[in-house]
Amino acid sequence: MAEYRTIDYRCPYCGHTYSVRMYDVIDADTEPDLKERCRSGDIFHVSCPHCRREYMIQYPLLYIDRGLRFALLVSEKETAPLSRLGRPLAEQGYRLRRCTSLQEFTEKIAVFEDDMDDIMVELAKYDTFIEYVDNRKGTPEDITSIEYQRTENEVMKINVRADDKSMSFLIPVSMMQEEMDASPDLYRVREEDFPVVDSAWVISLFAPEDGTA
């Protein structure tokens, strides 16, 4: 069941105040319409009734999929210790993540609904970045985003977007599994803490101890 609150929100464009419904908790199993809005990111979309401007408002939201046993917390910053909330879910086998952006939130839903390991996905995106640059397909400055698209028949598709062009990479899941199996402790996270598993996290795993790139 969804939990929400209604707040008075001031439009950043026209300055008028209007009511906005913000969801605190969404249960994907009991709210199929809201589940679809979370998948698309539309759950954060608002439209000012005064100036008709449309935009996104990111606010804290807990999304729970009990069938697939994962929970995502949308929160740019960790405002309080999360282990108290996360420990009971982690003990039930839930995968828990904190998402710092809307793009990350929608991507995590896609990854977990494909029954994929998001740590493996982030590692694949990192390897794709290295391959893209090392094979002189472009420079790091050219890249605007690296995105997970889907996994079918044990093959993962990763898209690299650079300005007005994009390139897709097909990566065998077995290859990524071998890479992870070689250093299992490196990729271990504490589920109960709602860890952030993103590109910055992966890069930190391979950064020298002095902190330089």
User: Residues 101, 82: one domain?
Assistant: yes
Give dist(CA 7, CA 42) in Å, integer. 18
CB within 8 Å of 125: residues ≥ 6 apart:
146, 147, 148, 158, 199, 202
To which H or E segment does residue 203 belong? Answer: helix 199-206
Is 124 inside a domain boundary? yes
Mean predicted lDDT score pLDDT of the chain:
93
N- to C-terminal Cα distance for the chain? 45
Query: How many structural domains compose the chain?
Result: 2
pLDDT band at 210, cuts 50/70/90?
low
Considering 87, 113, 139, which residue would you say is the last residue of a domain?
Answer: 113
The pLDDT tens digits for 51-89 are 999 999 999 999 999 999 999 999 998 767 788 889 999
Claim to verify: residue 199 and residue 107 sit in the same structural domain = no
Instruction: With H, G, I as helix, E, B as strand and everything else as coil, classify residue 127.
Output: helix
Closest CA to 159 of 173, 151, 170, 172: 170
| Full domain range(s) for residue 150 | 118-206
Q: Tell me the pTM.
A: 0.92
Are residues 36 and 90 part of one domain?
yes
